């Protein structure tokens, strides 16, 4: 799955017409076209443009910036991607962001994000946002952080994740539809948004239905959807095992069998299902996104749709 030029322009801060002009003048890319005729840019294309812009911001002319990058590498396509920067730099960004958010410094947090946006979205999610959330959760439980600080961070990260999903356009228009929701009584949506972004990058068309959605309403929407092939149910809160089994069994019974149902999140550990290879009455239980590998691979084969085979959460 590639990026439309509108998304590339938003991510890099380079106007659309400028990207097209650079592409023609300097033979930057070999841009493919999707089945609908739209131009599609790769993650490497986005990273390259970000490197060029960074050099231009330092005072280089665009021709000088491109020449410099070409001199450093045998081919333009092998320009080292910023996303491969040492982990210490990314961790530093994570710590800087955490410090700003703990101080309720929204402007400072925005400035930190400006230094990170050139990274692939999955890298930002996995190496910056999720560690921040874990630190906040641990700190709140130990009394080091207040509930107000937790709410402020959650609101900020929700904005960033929502912006990512919007820039991805909810996934490719030609992709099969995945419905993402948190069940009734579960108001946490950050984990749900991270899964939605990762699925969109994999080639799914996302309908994000949000948090605290009654099972009956989720099932009704799945039955009336024209192209729903996957339902993701976020389970963040810990519930009694019997209660969670009852909820998931009810959901499975109300949804057509041809639609795959996956329950994920920290709350599913109560079910004691070790991995995605064992289904709970027709519901796949995957605590982490990585655990969905075989489920999504099976769907790729069944649906016969070519998608990017690289799961984005690991590297």
State how beta strands 279-280 and 260-264 pair: unpaired
Q: Identify the band that residue 272 occupies on the pLDDT scale cut at 50, 70 and 90.
A: low
146-153: long-range contacts at Cβ-Cβ below 8 A with a sequence spacing of 24 or more? 149/101, 149/102, 149/104, 152/101, 152/104, 153/101, 153/102
Q: Residue 275: its pLDDT value, please?
A: 46
Percent of the chain whose predicted confidence (pLDDT) is above 90: 30
Residue ranges in 58-172 assigned as alpha helix (H) = 62-72, 87-102, 106-114, 121-124, 130-141, 147-167
Integer CA distances (angstroms), 74 to 63, 69, 193, in order: 17, 9, 39
Lowest mean pLDDT among 94-98, 110-114, 277-281, 289-293: 277-281
Tell me the two tokens of residue 199.
């699925």
* Average confidence (pLDDT) over 227-242: 90
Residue-wise pLDDT tens digits, 68-96: 777 665 443 444 443 344 444 566 788 89
Which residues are CB-neighbours of 168 under 8 A, at least 6 positions away?
A: 3, 7, 121, 197, 200, 201
More confident residue, 219 or 12: 219
Closest CA to 16 of 3, 27, 1: 3
Q: Residue 78: its pLDDT value, please?
A: 46
Tell me the two tokens of residue 32.
């493919």
Q: Identify the band that residue 309 occupies on the pLDDT scale cut at 50, 70 and 90.
A: very low
Residue-wise pLDDT tens digits, 136-181: 989 988 999 999 999 999 999 999 999 888 888 888 777 789 999 9
Residue ranges in 188-231 assigned as alpha helix (H) = 190-202, 215-224
Judge contact between 110 and 144, C-beta under 8 A: no
Which residues are CB-neighbours of 255 under 8 A, at least 6 positions away?
A: 219, 222, 223, 231, 261
Residue-wise pLDDT tens digits, 98-148: 999 999 999 999 988 888 877 778 888 988 999 999 899 899 889 999 999
Percent of the chain whose predicted confidence (pLDDT) is above 70: 84
What's the chain's average pLDDT?
81
Dihedral of CA atoms 96, 101, 105, 107 in degrees, nearest 10, equals 70
State how beta strands 177-183 and 228-234 pair: parallel
237-241: long-range contacts at Cβ-Cβ below 8 A with a sequence spacing of 24 or more? 237/185, 237/186, 237/188, 237/267, 238/266, 238/267, 238/269, 238/270, 239/267, 239/270, 240/270, 241/270, 241/271, 241/272
Q: Identify the band that residue 208 occupies on the pLDDT scale cut at 50, 70 and 90.
A: very high
Tell me the two tokens of residue 115.
């230094």
217 alpha-carbon distance from chain centroid? 25
H helix count then E strand count, the chain: 13, 8
Closest CA to 50 of 100, 123, 101: 123
* Average confidence (pLDDT) over 268-277: 63
CA distance 120 to 213: 30
Residue the block writes with tokens 């207040």: 146
More confident residue, 300 or 107: 107
Q: Residue 307: its pLDDT value, please?
A: 41
Domains of the chain with bracketed CATH: 5-81 (1.10.1660.10), 85-167 (1.10.1240.10), 177-303 (3.40.50.280)
CA distance 63 to 28: 11
Residue the block writes with tokens 């605590």: 287
**To which H or E segment does residue 279 belong?**
strand 279-280
Q: Residue 159: its pLDDT value, please?
A: 94
């Amino acid at each position: 799955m590639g990026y439309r030029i509108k998304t590339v322009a938003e991510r890099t801060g380079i106007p659309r017409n400028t990207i097209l002009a650079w592409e023609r003048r300097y033979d930057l890319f070999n841009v493919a076209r999707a089945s609908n005729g739209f131009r599609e840019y790769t993650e490497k294309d986005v990273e390259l443009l970000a490197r060029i812009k960074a050099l231009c911001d330092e005072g280089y002319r665009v021709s000088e910036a491109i020449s410099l990058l070409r001199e450093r590498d045998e081919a333009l396509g092998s320009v080292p991607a910023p996303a491969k920067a040492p982990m210490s730099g990314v961790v530093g960004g994570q710590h800087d962001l955490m410090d700003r958010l703990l101080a309720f410094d929204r402007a400072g947090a925005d400035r930190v994000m400006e230094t990170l946006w050139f990274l692939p979205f999955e890298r930002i999610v996995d190496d910056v946002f999720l560690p921040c959330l874990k630190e906040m959760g641990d700190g709140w439980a130990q009394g080091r952080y207040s509930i107000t600080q937790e709410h402020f961070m959650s609101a900020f990260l929700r904005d960033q994740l929502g912006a990512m999903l919007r820039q991805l356009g909810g996934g490719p228009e030609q992709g099969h539809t995945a419905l993402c929701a948190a069940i009734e009584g579960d108001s946490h949506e950050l984990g749900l948004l991270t899964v939605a972004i990762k699925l969109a990058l994999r080639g799914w068309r996302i309908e994000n239905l949000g948090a605290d959605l009654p099972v009956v309403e989720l099932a009704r929407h799945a039955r009336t959807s024209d192209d729903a092939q996957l339902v993701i149910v976020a389970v963040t809160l810990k519930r009694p095992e019997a209660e969670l089994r009852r909820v998931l069994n009810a959901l499975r019974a109300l949804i057509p069998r041809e639609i795959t149902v996956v329950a994920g999140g920290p709350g599913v550990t109560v079910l004691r299902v070790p991995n995605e290879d064992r289904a709970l009455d027709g519901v796949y239980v995957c605590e982490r996104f990585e655990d969905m590998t075989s489920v999504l691979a099976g769907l790729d084969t069944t649906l016969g749709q070519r998608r990017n085979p690289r799961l984005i959460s690991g590297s």
